[in-house]
Amino acid sequence: MRNAFLLAVAAIGFTATAAQAQDSTPTSSNGTSFRGIRIEANAGGDRFQSQGNHNDKFGYGGTIGFDGQLGERIVIGAEGSYWRANNWNENCSASGGGTVCHKSFDEYGAAVRAGVLATPQLLIFAKGGYVVNEQRKRYDAPAGQTSFYDHFNTSGYQVGGGVEYSLTGEQTRMPLYVNAQYVYSQYNDHTARQRVMAGVGLRFK
């Protein structure tokens, strides 16, 4: 499961190197603060989809990333993320006279993010990457039949997008920002997750 974080660290390192090379050229004159390492707290709605059902819960997590600027308006970076629903998220349905329950635990992700500066303070972005989700599937059989329990990790992809707004200027030592985004995760066991979340973070240059 931590392979997603290793991918994120490698991608962040690559992006940081590219950004440092970019910074050797004349700096941007647009006054943006969308550069450097960032850490972010996230919270919002979580929808776990499985077995033709879905369940909605409150969720929360965090993100660490690095952004660099290309030219005057393009921002590109890499990030690693963690997400979970509060008290986890589970779908249960009747099957074969018993009950089958599919439960989702932690999600770890690694993604690349790219965006356009609508203004020096406002970024519109899209992202895509890799995710790993810890899950459990349990079947409670009726009398005379066999129950089962399976605890496993499944991987997949994530896509999403949103907007981010810088609350402080380029010269601030630790610029504060807020964002809102939608992220869709598709797992290889034919389950999925949707997130609509807000974030608040700090950027270190």
φ and ψ at 175, to 5 degrees? Answer: -60, 135
The torsion angle over the Cα atoms of residues 32, 43, 40 and 79, rounded to 10 degrees, is: -90
The pLDDT of residue 25:
34
Number of domains forming the structure of the chain: 1
Residue 57: Cβ within 10 Å count:
16
Statement: the pTM of the whole predicted model exceeds 0.75: yes
Which residue's structure tokens are 């992700």? 109
Provide the CATH number for the domain around residue 183.
Answer: 2.40.160.20
* Residue-wise pLDDT tens digits, 18-39: 444 444 333 445 667 898 999 9
- Domain extent, residue 49, equals 3-204
Categorize the per-residue pLDDT at 144 as very low, low, confident or very high, splitting at 50, 70 and 90: confident
Residue 14 DSSP label: H
